[in-house]
């Protein structure tokens, strides 16, 4: 599948959000569906549901409902691609800068990178530096940061059970900093 310069997903961002989930960039399938993490094999929505992150099961298309509850969605790079290696270094650098500005301006309480790669891109962290899922010490402005393992089926470094456990840990961490849904 090749990239399309026209395909993207809308940002679900505004001031006053409790949490923003940050993806790398939209996949072509998700962009065409108009939903974040839309492919059935992506583990994002099932992990949130099984972990009881919210008080009900959630899935692709629930972005608006969650937005009303203070949860936002965006990506580091907004252009949809079939694979992340279709993105240029210039796109990644520009996307990282744009994302930092958005987060600094809107100041959600917390932001969660879905995958370690997005965090690496935004903070220009070398692949040689070990990043672990969980709370991160460096904020963006006043926004506290958390990193989840990638939920993409293309990235199998973490099992589904590990992702569910990390979603539970994220929920506990959010409650510790005063965020509840």
19-176 adopts what CATH topology?
Answer: Uracil-DNA Glycosylase, subunit E (3.40.470)
**Percent of the residues in the chain that have a pLDDT greater than 70, as a whole number:** 97
Count CB atoms within 10 A of the CB of residue 165: 16
Quick one: which H or E segment has residue 172?
A: helix 160-176
Nearest residue to 54 via CA among 43, 75, 69, 36: 69
Whole-structure pTM value: 0.95
Mean pLDDT of 4-18: 92
Distance CA 9, CA 7 (A): 7
pLDDT confidence tier of residue 89, bands split at 50, 70 and 90: very high
**Token pair recorded at residue 110:** 């917390």
> Which strands sit side by side in the sheet containing 110-114, from one edge to the other?
71-75, 19-23, 110-114, 143-148, 134-140
Q: Which pLDDT belongs to residue 5?
A: 67
How do the domains of the chain map onto residue ranges?
Answer: 19-176
């Amino acid at each position: 599948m090749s990239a399309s310069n026209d395909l993207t997903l809308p940002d679900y961002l505004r001031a006053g959000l409790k949490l923003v989930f940050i993806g790398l960039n939209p996949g072509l399938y998700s962009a065409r569906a108009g939903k974040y993490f839309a492919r059935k094999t992506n583990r994002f929505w099932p992990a949130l549901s099984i972990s009881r992150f919210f008080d009900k099961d959630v899935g692709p298309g629930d972005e608006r409902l969650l937005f009303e509850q203070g949860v936002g969605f965006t990506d580091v790079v907004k252009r949809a691609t079939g694979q992340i290696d279709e993105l240029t270094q210039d796109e990644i650098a520009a996307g990282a800068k744009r994302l930092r500005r958005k987060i600094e301006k809107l100041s959600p309480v917390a932001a969660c990178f879905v995958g370690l790669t997005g965090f690496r891109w935004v903070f220009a962290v070398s692949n040689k530096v070990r990043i672990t899922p969980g709370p991160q010490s460096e904020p963006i402005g006043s926004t506290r940061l958390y990193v989840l393992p990638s939920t993409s089926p293309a990235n199998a470094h973490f099992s589904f059970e590990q992702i569910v456990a990390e979603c539970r840990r994220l929920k506990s961490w959010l409650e510790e900093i005063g965020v509840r849904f």
